[in-house]
Amino acid sequence: MSESERNALLERQVAFLEEERDAALEALDMAGDLGAFALHSRERDTRAELVREICARANRMLPFQAMSLYLADEASGDFVRALTDPPQAAGELDDEVRALIADQSFAHVLQSGETGFFLGSDRTRQLLLHPIATRTRALGMFAGRLLERKDRISDIALKLFGVVMHSAAHALENQEMREAMENHARELDRKVQARTADLVEAFERLRTTVDGMQAGVLLIEPESRTIVDANPEALRMVGLPRDRVVGRRCTEYFCPAQENACPVLDNGQSVDSAERLMKNASGETIPILKTVSRVMVGGRQHLVESFIDITQQKKLETLREDVDRIMRHDLKGPLNGIIGLPAMLLAGGDNLTGEQVEGLRFIREAGTKLLRMINMSLDLYKMEIGTYVYEPWKGDLMDVVRDVAADLRDTLRAGGVRLRMRVDGREAGPDASVPLRCEESLLYSMLSNLMKNAVEGSAWDDEVTLDVRREEGGVVLALHNAKPVPEAIRDRLFEKYVTEGKKSGTGLGTYSARLIIETMGGSIRCEAAEGLGTTMTVTLPDPAA
How far apart, in whole angstroms, are the C-alpha atoms of residue 272 and residue 262?
A: 9
Residue 97 contacts residue 143 (beta carbons within 8 Å): yes
Is the model's pLDDT at 56 over the cut of 80? yes
Q: What is the pLDDT of residues 488-507, one digit of tens each?
A: 888 888 988 888 876 666 67
What mean pLDDT comes out for the span 148-160?
81
Is the model's pLDDT at 445 over the cut of 70? yes
Q: Which of 27-36, 261-270, 272-281 has the highest mean pLDDT?
A: 272-281
pTM (whole model) above 0.75:
no
Is the model's pLDDT at 73 over the cut of 70? yes
Q: Which of 129-133, 265-269, 282-286 has the highest mean pLDDT?
A: 129-133
> For residues 263 and 321, which has the higher predicted lDDT (pLDDT)?
263
| DSSP state letter for 1 | -
Least confident among 12-26, 132-146, 456-470: 12-26
How far apart, in whole angstroms, are the C-alpha atoms of residue 231 and residue 392?
A: 57
Q: What is the pLDDT of residue 545?
A: 63
Instruction: Name the CATH topology of 216-309.
Output: Beta-Lactamase (3.30.450)
Least confident among 24-28, 111-115, 224-228: 24-28
Domain limits, the chain: 37-211, 216-309, 314-385, 393-541
Task: Give percent above pLDDT 90 in the chain.
Answer: 25
The closest alpha carbon to 533, from 481, 490, 467, belongs to 481
Is the model's pLDDT at 32 over the cut of 60? no
Is the model's pLDDT at 478 over the cut of 70? yes
What mean pLDDT comes out for the span 419-441?
93
Predicted confidence band of residue 402 (pLDDT cuts 50, 70, 90): very high
Least confident among 228-232, 376-380, 400-404: 376-380
Is the model's pLDDT at 39 over the cut of 50? no
How far apart, in whole angstroms, are the C-alpha atoms of residue 362 and residue 54?
A: 51
Instruction: Name the CATH topology of 393-541.
Output: Heat Shock Protein 90 (3.30.565)
Per CATH, the number for 37-211 is: 3.30.450.40
Predicted confidence band of residue 45 (pLDDT cuts 50, 70, 90): low
- Domains 216-309 and 393-541 in one fold: no
Residue 350 corresponds to which amino acid? D
Residue 460 has a CB neighbour count (10 Å cut-off) of: 7
DSSP codes of every residue in 36-84? -----TTT--SHHHHHHHHHHHHHHHS-EEEEEEEEE-TTT--EEEEEE
DSSP codes of every residue in 91-157? HHHHHHHHHHHHTTHHHHHHHH-S-EEEE-TTSSSEEEEEEEE-SS-EEEEEEEEESS-GGGS-HHH
Is the model's pLDDT at 270 over the cut of 80? no
Give every strand in the sheet of 126-133, ordered side by side.
Answer: 79-85, 64-72, 138-146, 126-133, 116-119
Is the model's pLDDT at 540 over the cut of 70? yes
